[in-house]
Structure 1
Amino acid sequence: MSYNASIAVFCGGRPGVDPSFSVAAAELGRGIAKLGFRLVYGGGGAGIMGALAEAALMAGGDVVGVIPEFFMMRESVNRRCTELIVTPNMHLRKRRMFDIADAFVAMPGGLGTLDETFEMLTSRQLGLHDKPILICDVAGSAAPLLDAISDLTRMGFVAAPERLFEAFPSIDALLTRLPAIWPQGLLEAP
């Protein structure tokens, strides 16, 4: 079965301290490509981003990198992307990724990853979109985020978090769920 959906993945431009972060990113990139989904990500060529994109490309997948213009000089850019979109700033990068994506996956990363993830969560909570948000807890990396959301819910600031996102303990579990998110046949290519 072939799919025509785009999956935006938010993740770190650095590798982090645990090698399993990059291993999981590569597994996710390969899985997205093998499922026939298009990968949309931040356009970086290093760290977790680089592992994700390279694995998707090596598996024959389509990869769209969306990178702000000022990062073109500051960071490693993956020029092997199927499509590289350069935006004037971070805000438009997030907007462009949102417009292209049919679903979002949060992987290990830093402040930028949290910013992107929280913007999608906030927009969904406000009813501005209903695109699926999947959070992968690679080696406990998502525990602080999940704990923060749980604490905010307990304090009465977040209602029904189970409607905002799904959390997964592994890449295998996430990849099993991904094609089942949409109604049967909705994403089948003609």
Structure 2
Amino acid sequence: MTYPTIWFLRHGQTEWNAEGRIQGQLESQLSPLGIRHAHQQAALMAPILARGPACYVSPLGRAQQTAKIALGSHPFVTDTRLAEAQAGVFQGMTRAEVAARYPDIYATNPLNLDLFCAAPEGEGFAAFQARIQDFLAGLKEPAVVVAHGLWGQVLRGLICGLSRADMAALPNEQGCIYQLSDGGEQVLR
């Protein structure tokens, strides 16, 4: 399937990112570094926003905070489908706490995408991917998307035709923009 060009921005570093704590759909504010990440994205976004693309943002605070900096006064639509994977009982825990309390799940899911999607009482990969595919199916024109790391891994994997394992291994940089077009990606820094 072909999609319009998408400029994907992961939110800047949060206080919980810095602590190694699993956020999922819980809230954590941008750290000072995260604010700098959003300002780096703002500089990169200026020529893109001049084209007038539609902009969509996750409802979670860290993405909203990033969007307000990176998109400036450009209008955006908040879309609940852009929220991060719901990581069930793992939300609020550090990876070390997950390893101690759920050693079997932790040992068999070393990458964040797999770990979050294996969480008891969590969303699971199939539902998470379906939510992202539903969003993609509605895109008819080039768009800017401000969301989350795992959300972006699945988005990028779907557009680039990757397997779930390859999606889980994708890098999750902050302070950059992933330009997705013609079945591939380019990282703008």
TM range (shorter): 0.3 to 0.5
Q: TM-score, normalised by structure 1?
A: 0.40
Q: Which has the higher contact order (CA 8 A, sep 6+)?
A: 2
